[in-house]
Every structure is written in C-alpha cells, then in structure tokens.
Amino acid sequence: MQQCSCGHRAIYFRRYSGQHLCKRCFSRSIFKKFKDTIRINKLIERDDHVVCGVSGGKDSLVLLHMLKDLQSKFQFELSALVIDEGIAGYRDVSLPYVHRACKQLGVPLHTRSFKEAYGYTLDEVTQIEDRLGACSYCGVFRRNILNQASREIGGTKLALGHNLDDESQVILMNMLRGDMGRFGRTGTFYKDVHPKFIPRIKPLREIPEKELVLYAVISGIEFDFEECPYAHEAFRDDVRDFLNDMEQKRPGTKHTLLKTYDKLFPIFNEQFTPESIATCKRCGEPSISTLCKKCEMIDDIKKKKGY
C-alpha cells in the first residue's frame, strides 16, 4: 500500500509529479492550485463582483464551491449565472444541480435562455441551420449572453470553469487551425478591451479534468455526469485523443503545453489582439467587426426560416 508523504494511505497517484496523495493532501493541493492561480495572476481583487458561469457539470460546480470557500477569507461579491441553451434531455437534467448548489451555498442565481434572448432554442437552431455545427452557434450565443448578463448583474469578473484539458485542447486546436487571433484570447486573463466587456477569469485552468472529478467526489459535490448530445465535434475529439495519448506516454504534456503557451502569451497578445474592439452596429455589444458574429448568425437563421 502506497503512503502519502504525511503518512496516511494514498488514494491517488499523480503521474506528472510522481506524488502519492491521501484524500486530505489531494484536496488541499487542488484548492491551493486554484488559490495560487488567482493570487499569482491577480484574477480577483477586493470588492470585485465575481459572476460564476455554471452549467451543472463538475467543473463549474467545483469552481462555485471553491469561490464560495475563498469568499469567506477574501472580500468579494459572488453570483452564479446559468444559461439554458434549450437542449432537450440534457440541460433540463443539469439545471436542478445548479439550483441545489446555489441554494446550499447561498449564492444568488441568475438564469438566461437562448429562447428568451434570441427567439430560438439550440435544438431549433440546429434544425433550421446546422452549417457550422451546434457547438459553433452555442459558443457564440453563450459568450454573448454571459457577457451581457454579467454586466446587467453588476459583475466585474466572469469566472469560467475551464480545466487543463479544455485549455490545452483549445491551444492545440488554434495552433493547428492557424487561428492567431484567438491565440491572444486564451490566456489566464483576457484583457479589458471594450467598456462593455467583462473580463473572463479561469481559475481551474491548471487542474486536469480527472482531478476535478476526484475532487468533486471527495468533497461530496453533486454534479451532472451526462454529456451534451452535441459534444462530439470531430476535430476536438481528435485533439483530445492525441493529448490523452501523449499524456499517457509522457506525463506532464498538457501542463508543458499550457506553460509554453503562457510564456508566449505576452507576444501573442501584443501581436494578435487588437488594442480595442469595435461595437456591433445592431446590438451594441463588443465585436471584432461592425456586425457581431451573433447578429450575423441570427440573420442567417432568419433568412433560412424565410423571414
């Protein structure tokens, strides 16, 4: 039986660091990583109003619990925001987890939906126009509502539960696509480039997905295990499989990719991110061009629908 360095029975072997960890040391190490990411990158300041985007999955609910814990030691306001994309059999199952967690933690919850904001559920969008795949519409629509709703709530930071696996996949996908514009937007803290833009923070980005699952189970955090029915985008699946295979052969690959990216981030940010972004002439939200991607997509859907 392997032992943790504290003398207790180990329940987890962290391959990338060679450590055997007991329950307590494992949980402490995860919370420390979360806290250090915030402290080193100055992600939260005193008197910030942090809006935590929650979905009912493990990442966002672990993040909400950790932020609540941090709030008792550090003064900031905390709210939760959930988006109902309108995915039958999926979102309706995960929403009760969000409601229960917010009630238990005493965190005010705000809800928005695609249907209410755009007139269509994601299921309806995919039936009308699926040229780009569900995730493209979902990503653009969700980012738009997250930003707008966070601002309406009075948020000064938008916290998202992206983990190490998500981050390393996005970095590699952007690299393989040659998408340099997005390279300047994947960092720890996407800089404030528009008065209506709420800066996004990702305090879990250095924690592997499987460690977040274990942390949630150990901490008794209930979450929805179901995966979104649209989740399997071929390109991301290939990148995920490649990174998992590399991690298996060379433990630490995902951390190395993230660290390399972070070292290069100031250059990407300087070179490829505009100093300020435009304002959409239709909806008034921050946008790369004069008509934002969300308004462009809504126009396409309406055209397809014939009005």
Site residues (CB under 6 A) for ligand SF4? 85, 134-135, 138-139, 228, 230-231
Answer for the pair 191, 273: CB distance below 8 angstroms, yes or no: yes
**Interface of this chain with Zn ion, residues 2 to 31, rule: CB under 5 A:** 4, 6, 8, 22, 25
Structure tokens at 140: 């653009």
Give the type of residue at 16: Y
Q: Considering the complex, what minimum distance in angstroms separates the CB of residue 88 from ligand SF4? A: 12
Helical spans, DSSP H, in the chain: 23-40, 58-71, 91-105, 114-118, 122-128, 134-153, 164-177, 180-183, 209-219, 234-249, 253-272, 293-305
Q: Are 222 and 206 in contact (CB under 8 A)?
A: no
Q: Give the distance from CA 119 to its chain's centroid.
A: 25
For residue 170, state whether it binds Zn ion (rule: CB under 5 A).
no
Contact partner, 108, from ligand SF4, Zn ion, none, Cβ < 5-8 Å per class: none
128 binds, among Zn ion, ligand SF4, none (CB under 5 to 8 A by kind): none
Q: Does 280 bind Zn ion (CB under 5 A)?
A: yes
Which of ligand SF4, Zn ion, none sits in contact with 139, Cβ below 5 to 8 A by type? ligand SF4
Whether the CB-CB separation of 137 and 290 falls below 8 Å is answered with no
Closest to ligand SF4 by CB, 213 vs 228, is 228
**30/292 with CB nearer Zn ion:** 292
Q: Which DSSP helix (H) or strand (E) runs through 20?
A: strand 19-21
Among candidates 6, 37, 34, 56, which has minimal Cα distance to 211?
34
For residues 78 and 292, which CB has a smaller minimum distance to ligand SF4 in the complex?
292
Candidate segments 46-54, 154-162, 245-253, 272-280, binder of Zn ion by CB under 5 A: 272-280
Q: Return the number of the residue (8 or 232) whose C-beta is nearest Zn ion.
A: 8
Report the residue from 93, 135, 218, 283 that binds Zn ion according to the rule CB under 5 A.
Answer: 283
Positions that interact with Zn ion (CB under 5 A):
4, 6, 8, 22, 25, 280, 282-283, 292, 295
